[in-house]
Amino acid sequence: MSERGLSSWGRTFPDRGRRAVPASRFDWSEKTATDAFLPYGNGRSYGDSCLNHAGTLIDSRRADAVLAFDAKTGLLTAEAGILLSAITRLVAPQGWFLPVTPGTQFVTLGGAIANDVHGKNHHRRGSFGCWVRSVDLERSDRGVSLCTPSQNAELFKATIGGMGLTGLVRSATIQLLKVPSLTIDETTTRFDRLADYFDLAEEADERHEYAVAWIDSLSRGTSFGRGHLIAGDHAATGDSEGIARPPLLRVPFTPPVSPLRGWPLRAFNEAYFHKAPSGTSRRQVGFDGFFYPLDRIGQWNRLYGPKGLHQHQSLVPFADAKAVIGELLACAGAHGQGSFLTVLKRFGAVESPGLLSFPRPGYTLTLDFPHRGKKTLEMLAALDAITLAAGGRINPYKDSRMTAETFAAGFPGWRALERLRDPAILSDFWRRTALVLPPEAVAAWPADDGFRKGRSSLPA
């Protein structure tokens, strides 16, 4: 086994990924009583769900071969360590694209399945798991099995969104999406207050393949929650190469204090808001600028300073979302901690096959904060409380500090996942949440997936 330094994107746990072994060379029998394995993709999860400080990470990045691609049907089979960027480069010239893509293309196929990632088209295409046709899953207790919606179906469901806990995905087959080109017809609508966003978002979801909003989280008074709604569709003609431009720049070191706070943040938001003309504007953009703007700045996470960053992603059911999204933004403002990048998105009703998948119908708000110690943690806990009281949940693969109770309240399905967990696999996230919960602690919660439809009071 080699000593390697692997981390997660939030960098709040710089010392946690010391032991790693390549997927091609690891051996389940090397597990000892105090050790455990955990599959690792490309470390683009923000918190500790891809970390395993007391055990060994299985680094899948070099296991990245394409095993089959049918340009007629758009079915692709590849090893789990392949990056989404490599898939795009391969399939775009044949008119295919990823059916669902997160905001970075530097994510592995295995990581996209294990977190059941979502993209800007959730309202039409659901999450990544909806497009997975089969996985080859290797477990310490039963070797490799083919899991599909009808074969080893329970394991298939648990593996999608199962945060790597059900076994090592060796390879997977996914259905790609036929597109006319990768160039995007982009429509940006500037809105002057949060209240204006919701109708625009509904309309955009009806009309466009992709839709997402940027919110100026520092705006106050009558312009509270102002922002841009950015919608997009594949253009009839355009790029069919699928090669993203190289990063514009790379952040070379971690500054001692994050510049993403105070007046620089305020100035950025002000300038960015006015960058879009009032009303609606249209233009054509490249796929990399539309889907992956942050990939153009290498190691941008360093800008959050030496203590790292927290990303708080909440999901609020439709019932009370208009009020609750406002409460969440106001709460962050009241704690004096502006979020650098604030994103608001409407999730649709397409159901994921995944047992513990994050998306459900509702609005999802994503806030990024530099870690400033106790102050930040208190604010994040307040955001959790608002979300839970509205019947919502917090995204576990972005998290590094939610309580076990908060996790269980949002995902009572954790018990089913725990039953199917590979006994040789454990993550820091699971140690910190599920494993500290005695079953009776969550008995008050419904036995289904626990996602409620609106506000309700929490059990004591």
CA dihedral 100, 102, 105, 110 (to 10 degrees): -70
The answer to whether 432 touches 52, Cβ cutoff 8 Å, is no
Single-letter amino acid code for the residue at 193: R
Q: Which is nearer to ligand FAD, 81 or 225 (CB)?
A: 81
Q: How far is the CB of 388 from ligand FAD (least distance, A)?
A: 20
Alpha-carbon distance of 285 to 155, in angstroms, equals 40
Binding region for ligand FAD (CB under 6 A) out of 104-112, 201-209, 374-382, 452-460: 104-112
Determine if 117 is a binding residue for ligand FAD (CB under 6 A): yes
For residue 30, give the 3-state DSSP assignment: helix
Indicate the helix (H) or strand (E) that contains 399: none
Kindly write out the interface string for residues 261-300 of this chain, putting x where it contacts ligand FAD by CB under 6 A and - elsewhere: ---------------------------------x------
Single-letter amino acid code for the residue at 123: H
- Residues in the interface with ligand FAD (CB under 6 A) total 33
Q: How far is the CB of 120 from ligand FAD (least distance, A)?
A: 7
Determine if 173 is a binding residue for ligand FAD (CB under 6 A): no
Determine if 12 is a binding residue for ligand FAD (CB under 6 A): no
Kindly write out the interface string for residues 43-62 of this chain, putting x where it contacts ligand FAD by CB under 6 A and - elsewhere: xxx---xx---------x--
The answer to whether 202 touches 123, Cβ cutoff 8 Å, is no
Determine if 230 is a binding residue for ligand FAD (CB under 6 A): no
Indicate the helix (H) or strand (E) that contains 387: helix 374-389
Alpha-carbon distance of 170 to 324, in angstroms, equals 41
Alpha-carbon distance of 200 to 185, in angstroms, equals 18
Among 74, 103, 242, 370, binds ligand FAD (CB under 6 A): 103
Binding region for ligand FAD (CB under 6 A) out of 40-48, 269-277, 439-447, 449-457: 40-48
Alpha-carbon distance of 195 to 221, in angstroms, equals 12
Secondary structure of the chain: what % helix, strand, coil (to 5)? 30, 25, 45
Among 55, 74, 99, 110, binds ligand FAD (CB under 6 A): 110
Indicate the helix (H) or strand (E) that contains 311: strand 309-316
List CB contacts of 267: < 8 A, sequence separation 6 or more: none
Structure tokens at 187: 């429509």
Within 132-171, the residues that bind ligand FAD by CB under 6 A are: 163-164, 168-169
Determine if 42 is a binding residue for ligand FAD (CB under 6 A): yes
Binding region for ligand FAD (CB under 6 A) out of 35-43, 375-383, 386-394, 452-460: 35-43
Among 20, 80, 231, 417, binds ligand FAD (CB under 6 A): 80
Q: Which is nearer to ligand FAD, 49 or 219 (CB)?
A: 49
Q: By the criterion CB under 6 A, which residues form the site for ligand FAD?
A: 9, 38-45, 49-50, 60, 80, 102-104, 107-108, 110-112, 114-115, 117-119, 163-164, 168-169, 294, 397, 427
